[in-house]
Amino acid sequence: MPATPRKRARACARAGPRILAALLTLLPGVSALAYEVDSFEARAAAYVDDAACLECHEEYAASTTVHRDLEEFETAAVVTRGCQSCHGPGSLHVESNDPDDIRNPATADPVVANRACLQCHRADDVGAFEMSLHAAADVSCVSCHDIHGPQRGALLRSSQPDLCVSCHQDQRASMYLPSHHPVREGRMTCTDCHDPHGSTPSAASAGRPNDLCLSCHARHAGPFVFEHSPVIEDCTICHAPHGSVANSLLVQNEPFLCLQCHQAHFHATIPGIDGEFTSLDGYSAVSTHDASKRGFLTKCTQCHTEIHGSDLPSQSISGQGAALTR
């Protein structure tokens, strides 16, 4: 069975650079739409020595937070170092002691709070956070991260999955269904699959369909000689990733899942004898009048074992080898 590689035009390969070029052309126009967010920088405040901050906020003097001692190259040279890198220039606040005279990300508008973080973390993987569903829902960086905390883990306020399911309660319920990914057992985390910092199509997710699932379940990556088209289309047509009652995270049990798209097996309606029998090859079994239903309508994958795809042909010529039984 020789391969016949298709040498179709790589139009999409050329489209990418064209889109990026168009983006650069549009920038001056769309920039006029923007609204200036942070008014603190516009005030007449000036940066002061951090020691002035710690005179009152002595609880942070012994803090081990990594945010205290950053080098200039780490901050992309857009901010000063220390307390005021996030809180903005503090001279007015030092003079007045008025909380309104300094930026406080914990109580500020989420956009302002996030900007304080992203001015440095723009260069990280979290750079797309402002486009994320979390940001749109006014979940700010400090909702999940304890910025003054010690440099442990990702400065999360609590560990996964507790932190995530404190809001996503329906997913916590799914984790307790009989079939589930090992999240509540601590063998996986929510962020193994989800990117809390950005759900707009990113460089990673814009690749092959289902690539997120295949990054662990690589045995199903193929591409196979004999395909099962819903496997290619979307894993979630058949699987519920957060948990299900049916085995293997199936959205419903076999054969009902399969019968939504497929005909019941043609042997299933043929009546059987009531009694024991032995085949020519010496296999003995007991049949009943409705045994064909039990045999052919219990679990399709007992015979169609390679439901995710296979390179090996099935036995029947009339099925053209594509029945995914081998």
Phi, psi values for residue 278, rounded to 5°: -135, 130
- The minimum distance between CB 75 and another protein, in angstroms, equals 8
Q: Which stretch binds another protein (CB under 8 A): 32-40, 52-60, 82-90, 93-101?
A: 32-40
Q: By CB under 8 A, name the one of 76, 96, 97, 194 that touches another protein.
A: 76
Q: What whole-number distance in Å separates Cα of residue 244 and Cα of residue 251?
A: 6
> Which residues neighbour 232 within 8 Å (Cβ) at sequence distance 6 or greater?
209, 210
- Counting residues that bind another protein (by CB under 8 A) gives 159
Give, as ranges, the residues between 105 and 124 that touch another protein (CB under 8 A).
109-111, 115, 122-124
Site for another protein contains 268 (CB under 8 A): yes
- Which is closer to another protein, CB of 85 or CB of 314? 314
Q: By CB under 8 A, name the one of 58, 59, 71, 98 that touches another protein.
A: 71
Q: Which stretch binds another protein (CB under 8 A): 47-55, 87-95, 97-105, 167-175?
A: 167-175
Site for another protein contains 57 (CB under 8 A): no
Rounded CA Rg of the chain: 30
Give, as ranges, the residues between 209 and 228 that touch another protein (CB under 8 A).
209, 211, 214-216, 218-219, 221-227
Q: By CB under 8 A, name the one of 58, 73, 80, 254 that touches another protein.
A: 73
Q: What whole-number distance in Å separates Cα of residue 251 and Cα of residue 256?
A: 10
Site for another protein contains 320 (CB under 8 A): yes
Site for another protein contains 54 (CB under 8 A): no
Site for another protein contains 4 (CB under 8 A): yes
Q: Which stretch binds another protein (CB under 8 A): 16-24, 51-59, 81-89, 98-106?
A: 16-24
Site for another protein contains 61 (CB under 8 A): no
Site for another protein contains 172 (CB under 8 A): yes
Residue 276: its H or E element: strand 275-278
Site for another protein contains 204 (CB under 8 A): yes
- Which is closer to another protein, CB of 97 or CB of 269? 269
Q: What whole-number distance in Å separates Cα of residue 163 and Cα of residue 191?
A: 11
How many Å from the N-terminal Cα to the C-terminal Cα in the chain?
17
Q: What whole-number distance in Å separates Cα of residue 259 and Cα of residue 296?
A: 12
| Residue owning tokens 């029947």 | 316
